[in-house]
Amino acid sequence: MDVLEAVAEKIKESRYLVAFTGAGISKESGIPTFRGKDGLWAKYDPEELASWRGFLKNPKLVWEWYTWRMDLIGKAKPNPAHLGLAKLEKVGILKAVITQNVDGLHRRAGNKKVLELHGNIWRVKCVSCDFKDKVKEPPKEVPPKCPKCGSLLRPDVVWFGEPLPRDVWTEAVMEAMKSDVLLVIGTSGLVAPASMVPTMAHQRGSSIVEINPEDTPISSMAEIKVRSPAGSFFKELIERLRI
């Protein structure tokens, strides 16, 4: 049995399929990942751009970086991996997507049950009051100010050292525990606590299917390892599943 057939069988037999995704799933949409030689963290310092300390030091610089990413993400389209997951949900096989991505591409592809562990780049929140808003494009002037109280607005994403949104995390843990098959797609598995999702599922007896061109700390838990880019693999997978 080839690896494509093995994954197709695993999915067909599953009773509660859940997906856990990272930056790699959006790579074929033209959005850079964080780690690796072409990754964002090879060029930029996460401490300066994705931490509360960095934001306090230079909110303009942080916002310029987010504006650049919003432009990039705004132009990007869901690729066959996002679209494949949407199809799997539509036909009732996939129960939830747990993602570390802030790009919103899972929802744009059509998935309804998406648990965004690290927030969403298309939302802003005030650093002082309870103001929150959705945005469709980057702010015209940076850093943007809160219309309610005049303080700074920040992207509603999780920065280094910050806790995950509690409700989303609780739900993600529950979905991971319920899963009997977990598709782990395009994540290095290096950022905690998100990286605990596959470990928890595995400890509960869930079968881990990893889709990632490279080896990761999750690979040793995986029952099936697919060493291909997610987009091209899903194209074939959806054809094979005839859904």
Residue with the two structure tokens 């802003």: 124
- The residue among 46 and 150 lying less far from ligand OAD, judged by its C-beta, is 46
148 binds, among ligand OAD, Zn ion, none (CB under 5 to 8 A by kind): Zn ion
Min dist. Cβ of residue 232 to ligand OAD (A)? 8
Applying the rule CB under 5 A, the residues between 61 and 80 that interact with Zn ion are none
Q: How far apart are CA 184 and CA 231, in angstroms?
A: 14
Burial class, 172, CB count within 10 angstroms (exposed 0-12 / middle 13-18 / buried 19+): buried
Min dist. Cβ of residue 65 to ligand OAD (A)? 11
Question: Which residues of the chain form contacts with ligand OAD (CB under 6 A)?
Answer: 22-25, 27-28, 33-36, 39, 46, 50, 100, 118, 158, 186-188, 190-191, 211-214, 216, 229-230
- The residue among 22 and 84 lying less far from ligand OAD, judged by its C-beta, is 22
Name the phi and psi angles at 30, rounded to 5.
90, 15
131 binds Zn ion (CB under 5 A): yes
Min dist. Cβ of residue 57 to ligand OAD (A)? 17
- The residue among 111 and 188 lying less far from ligand OAD, judged by its C-beta, is 188
Least Cα distance to 230 among 16, 42, 85 occurs for: 85
First to last CA, the chain: 21
Min dist. Cβ of residue 6 to ligand OAD (A)? 17
Which one of 35-43, 62-70, 89-97, 130-138 is the stretch in contact with Zn ion (CB under 5 A)?
130-138
Applying the rule CB under 5 A, the residues between 142 and 171 that interact with Zn ion are 146, 148-149, 151
Catalytic residue numbers, as ranges: 118
- The residue among 143 and 186 lying less far from ligand OAD, judged by its C-beta, is 186
What letter represents residue 228's amino acid?
Answer: S
3-state secondary structure of 242: coil
CB-CB contact of 86 with 111 (8 Å):
yes
What tokens does 58 get? 């230079």
129 binds, among ligand OAD, Zn ion, none (CB under 5 to 8 A by kind): Zn ion
- Residue closest to ligand OAD when measured from CB atoms: 24
Q: Could you tell me how many helices (H) and strands (E) the chain has, helices first?
A: 10, 9
List strand residue ranges (DSSP E) for 31-180, in order.
94-99, 114-116, 119-126, 132-134, 153-157
